[in-house]
Amino acid sequence: MILFVNSLTVIDFSYLCNKRGAVGESWIVDLTLHGQLNDESMVLDFGLVKKQIKGIIDNCIDHKLAVPATLNGSLTQHAEHSVLDCHFGDNYHLAMSAPNQAYCLIDADVIDEKSVTEFLIKTIMPELPSNIEKIELNLYPEHSQSFYYHYSHGLKKHDGNCQRIIHGHRSQIGISLDGMAMPRLQKEWADKWEDIYLATAEDEINKSDLKHVTAQDNDVCFAYTSQQGYFEMAIDKSRCDILPCDTTVECIADYLSSQVKNQYPDTEVKITAYEGVGKGSISYA
């Protein structure tokens, strides 16, 4: 017997790529269960599917930084935190110290839909009832009707997992002037923010104030303490955009509307900023 749940959840996370660096991503998760009927004449109650399996997925990878086994750098684990130091592409440097729960370690050479699917199946199967014989997962990005960008960020004021300093999203962006969509502007911002780290100005610190990581000459540094613990990072300034506000989707939309309004002061600007799949914020200027 087969049971399926489409769009069970969305994984919003960042992963490390030895070419691109930290990449923000959002994948929709479809689930299929194969098994025998239980005493309730079900493969598994839909309530348990949504609660238990979604919970496992969220706990092991959602809003985390996924790190592959083959890394151009090092990851040093301590009792309460881990320290990452690595290089990507054209000598782009990234270092991070964060509580251990902010990382997802995947035993694969690259982080992609295939390796994450295999990791999740191995994690989920031991937690399921014995009548479940096999599970299948299909991970895929949202079909994009507009230009999109991959970004990472951290929200120190958030009381949930968004406080983790490097997690991210794959997000569409909509820009219109006087009610007319502007694909050229959408592409400009999508290109500008491709694989970007969006930082908050008030989180920036001096290199000398770093506690656990080592910065390089071209790095900018950020740190904060939030509910889950102390976070800090150093990143090449070419891969970072420092905003004068928090990097919630509401603030991103407001920031973008002000930037576009400066270019086109005599027009009504509408920004539709997304945070992953099916959610976001609209700002007018």
pLDDT, tens digit, 9 for 90 and up, residues 67-100: 999 999 999 999 999 999 999 987 899 999 999 9
- Residues 83, 63: Cα–Cα separation, whole Å: 18
What pLDDT is attached to residue 91?
Answer: 81
Integer CA distances (angstroms), 281 to 141, 143, 236, 256, in order: 20, 19, 29, 11
Which residue has 């790095």 as its token pair?
A: 219
- β-partners of residue 53 are none
pLDDT, tens digit, 9 for 90 and up, residues 143-197: 988 899 999 999 999 999 999 999 999 999 999 999 999 999 999 999 999 999 9
pTM over 0.85: yes
pLDDT, tens digit, 9 for 90 and up, residues 2-41: 989 999 999 999 999 999 999 999 999 999 989 888 878 7
What pLDDT is attached to residue 206?
Answer: 98
Kindly indicate the confidence band of residue 131, based on its pLDDT and cuts at 50, 70 and 90.
Answer: confident
Query: Apex CA 228: angle with CA 225 and CA 230, to 5°?
Result: 35
Listed in sequence order, the residues at least 6 apart from 76 whose beta carbon sits closer than 8 Å to its beta carbon are 82, 83
Kindly indicate the confidence band of residue 115, based on its pLDDT and cuts at 50, 70 and 90.
Answer: very high
E strand or H helix at 54: helix 54-60
Kindly indicate the confidence band of residue 46, based on its pLDDT and cuts at 50, 70 and 90.
Answer: confident
Kindly indicate the confidence band of residue 65, based on its pLDDT and cuts at 50, 70 and 90.
Answer: very high
